[in-house]
Amino acid sequence: MTNVFSKLYSGKKQDLYYERDMSPDRSKKLKKDIKENEKEVHEYLYDCDDVITRDFYMGQAQKHEMALMYIDGMVDKNLVQEEILKSLMLLTRQAPLEYSLGQNFFNMVKEGLLTAADIKEVDNFGEVVLGILSGDTILFMDKFEKALIISTRGWEKRGVQEPATEAVIRGPREGFTETYRVNIALIRRRLKDPNLKVKTIKLGRHTRTDVGILYIQGVANPNIVDEVLKRLNTIDMGGVIESGYIEQMIEGDWLSPFPQLRRTERPDVVAAGLIEGNVAIVTDNTPFVLLAPGTFLSLFQSPEDYYERWYIASMIRLLRFAAAFFAMAFPALYIAMTAYHPGMLPTDLALSIAATREGVPFSAVVEALIMVFSLEVLREAGVRLPGPIGQTIGIVGGLVVGEAAVRAGIVSPIMVIVVAVNAISSFAIPNYSVAIGFRLLTFLFMFLGTVAGLYGIMLGLLALTIHLVTLKSFGAHYLSPFVSFRFSEGKDFIVRGPMPSMEIRPGYTRPENLDRMNDRYHDTIEKAGDENADKQ
C-alpha cells in the first residue's frame, strides 16, 4: 500500500498523521506473530480511539492466544459476546480438548467453534482493515498467517418507512433505507427469482461505498449490464456519499437539464423496472436507487399508474404532460401574448388584462421575473425549514407576498394567477429532477418570449425537441418510443392500455425476452369466454 505522510506542527509538539488508501491490497500479507499483526493494523488506523482490541486465550490450558479487533458503534456487541467470545473462551474451557497448532486447529475454530453465520478467511492487511472499517470483527490467531472476518455489523439505522417523495394512494408503503443489505432484501422479497443477479463493487478511495448492480439474467440486455459496469469502474474519486455522485459521473450528457437515469425510493418501482429489463444501481448510505436506462416518458410515470384501472391512469398521465407544459411555458406565453400578440387574444380578455395592468409600473417580463423569483425563494425556504414551519412559510408566505404585491401595484392580479398555475403544475410532475429541469427552462422560455414572442417560444420548443431526440441513456433513445415507434409499445405510451393487452416489455431496454405475458393467459380467457357463452 502507498503511504502518504504529512506533519502538522503545533508549537513544539509534532503530530504525525497517516493518509492511506484502504483498498484491499493483497501484496502485504499477514504475519504469524499476532502482536505484529495488531501493531500493523494500529499503524493503519492511527489515532482511531474507537478501534477496540480484545486479547484473550482459548482452551483449558490457556495456550492459544487470540485477538479481536472492531470499531465501537459499528458492531453488534451481543453478537461479538455470544457468537465469538462465549464460544471461544467459555465453551472451550468446559471440554478437555487438545488442539494442535497446525491447519486443523484453524479449521476447527472456523468451522466447529464459531457460531456466527458469515465468516470469511483472509491473508492480507488490506482486507483486514477494510473489514474493520466496514463494521466487521477480525479474529487473529497466533502462529497463523491468516485471519477471520466475522460479520457482526450492527450500527444504528432507520427503519423501513413510507417514502416522502413518492407517496401513492394505492400501493405498498415501504421505502428504501440507508442500509445497503436492507435495500437488497426489499428487492429480493419482491423478486423470488434465482435469475436476479447482484454484483457488488466498492467506489470511493476514502468511503469504499458498497454499490450493487442488479439485473434479471435472461431479461436484461447484457450490453447494457456491461456498459453500466464499465462506467461504474471508471469512477475514481475520493468518496461516493450518495447515488447522486454516481448519477452525475455515468450519465451521457451532463449539460442536459434532464436526468438520464430514473431514481426512486420505492422497492416496487425497482422490481417493476428489473422485470422490464432495466438495470438497478443500489448505493449504500442512501435510500435512492437508480434505474438505467432512463427515458423521458418513464420519468413521468408513477407506480400508481399500474395499480389503478387503465383509463384512470391514462387520464392522470395526460394531466401530467399538460402540467409539464404549463410549468415550462405558461409565463412565457403570457409575456408573448400581452407584449407581442395582443390581437390573438379575445377582445374581452385583452381589455380585462389591460385593466388589471393599469397602474403597474413594470413590463410583463419584469412582473413575471419578480413573482417567479419570489416563489422560488419561498419554495427553497420551505424545503430547508422543519416540516410544520416549512409548510407554513410556503403557504402563508405565498399568500402574503402575492396579496401585498398586488395591493402595492407592483404586479397585476392575473400575473399572480399565471405564476401560481406555473408553480402548481411543477408539483404535478412525479420526478423531482425533471420538475427542477422544467423550472429552469421557465426562465429560458421567458427570455425567448420577451425577445421574439411566440416565434421565440416555438424556436425554443424546436431546440428542446432536437436536444431530446439526440439524447441517449445507455444506448436507449431518450424519447423512446417516439423515435422507433411500434404499435405494441403504444399500449404503455402517453396513455396506458388495459393490462391484458400489455403483452411485451418496452423496447428501449432491448430485453433478451420481449414477452411480458404468457400466451396461456389469453388462451385461458378465451376458453372461459367460450364456456360462458355455451352455458348461456
What per-residue confidence (pLDDT) applies to 61? 67
**What φ, ψ does residue 119 adopt, rounded to 5°?**
-130, 135
Query: Which residues, other chains included, contact 226 with Cβ-Cβ below 8 Å and sequence gap of 6+?
Result: none
pLDDT of residue 230: 93
**pLDDT per residue as tens digits for the range 253-312:** 888 999 999 999 999 999 999 999 999 999 999 999 999 999 998 899 888 888 888 888
Reported confidence tier of residue 485, pLDDT bands at 50, 70, 90: low
Is a pLDDT exceeding 60 seen at residue 503? yes
| For range 29-57, the mean pLDDT | 90
| 15 has pLDDT over 50 | no
Cα 289 vs. chain centroid, distance in angstroms? 3
- For the record, the C-alpha cell of 97 comes out as 480438548
Q: Do 509 and 221 touch, CB atoms closer than 8 A?
A: yes
- Provide the pLDDT for residue 22: 44
Q: Would the pLDDT of 18 be above 50?
A: no
pLDDT at site 60: 67
153 secondary structure, DSSP code: B
C-alpha cell at 385: 425549514
CA–CA dist 309, 299 (Å, integer): 20
Task: For the chain, give the percent of residues with pLDDT over 70.
Answer: 85
pLDDT, tens only, 165-209: 888 888 899 999 999 999 999 999 999 999 999 999 999 888 889
> In 10 A of CB 319, how many CB atoms?
12
- Residues 22 and 46 sit within 8 Å (Cβ to Cβ): no
Q: Does 1 score more than 50 pLDDT?
A: no
* Helix, strand, coil % over all residues of the chain, rounded to 5: 50, 15, 35
Q: What is the reported pLDDT for 406?
A: 80
Q: What is the 3-state secondary structure (H, E, C) of 347-400?
A: HHHHHHHHHHCCCCCCCHHHHHHHHHHHHHHHHHHHHHCCHHHHHHHHHHHHHH
Cα→Cα distances 269→35, 50, 171, 307, 507, Å: 51, 39, 10, 12, 18
> Do residues 116 and 152 make contact, with C-beta atoms less than 8 angstroms apart?
yes
Which secondary structure element, helix H or strand E, spans residue 501, and what is its range?
none
Residue 55, phi then psi, degrees to nearest 5 = -90, 140
Q: What pTM value is reported for the model?
A: 0.83
Q: What is the pLDDT of residues 303-354, one digit of tens each?
A: 888 888 888 888 999 999 999 999 999 999 999 988 888 888 888 888 888 8
Report the Cα 476 to chain-centroid distance in Å. Answer: 20
Write down the pLDDT at residue 523: 52
Identify any residues that bridge with 291 across adjacent strands, giving them in sequence order: 262, 280
Q: Which residues contact 404 (CB under 8 A, 6 or more apart)?
A: none
pLDDT digits over 45-101, tens only? Answer: 888 889 999 999 887 667 788 999 999 988 988 889 888 888 888 776 665 555 555
Does the pLDDT at position 10 exceed 70? Answer: no
Give the dihedral sign, CA 40/45/50/51. Answer: negative
DSSP 3-state of 180: helix
pLDDT in tens, 239-250: 899 999 999 999
Residue matched to cell numbers 493518509: 19
Cβ count near 131 (within 10 Å): 22
Do residues 429 and 324 lie in contact, with contact meaning Cβ atoms separated by under 8 Å?
yes
Task: Identify the pLDDT of residue 4.
Answer: 32
Higher-scoring residue by pLDDT: 15, 403: 403
Using pLDDT thresholds of 50, 70 and 90, give the confidence band for residue 225. very high
pLDDT at position 20, please? 41
Which residue, among 355, 320, 517, 356, has the nearest Cα to 438 in the 3D structure? 320
Cell numbers found for residue 47: 489515532
- Report the chain's mean pLDDT, rounded to a whole number: 83
Write the burial class of residue 444 (CB in 10 Å: 0-12 exposed, 13-18 middle, 19+ buried): middle
The closest alpha carbon to 184, from 294, 281, 292, 304, belongs to: 281
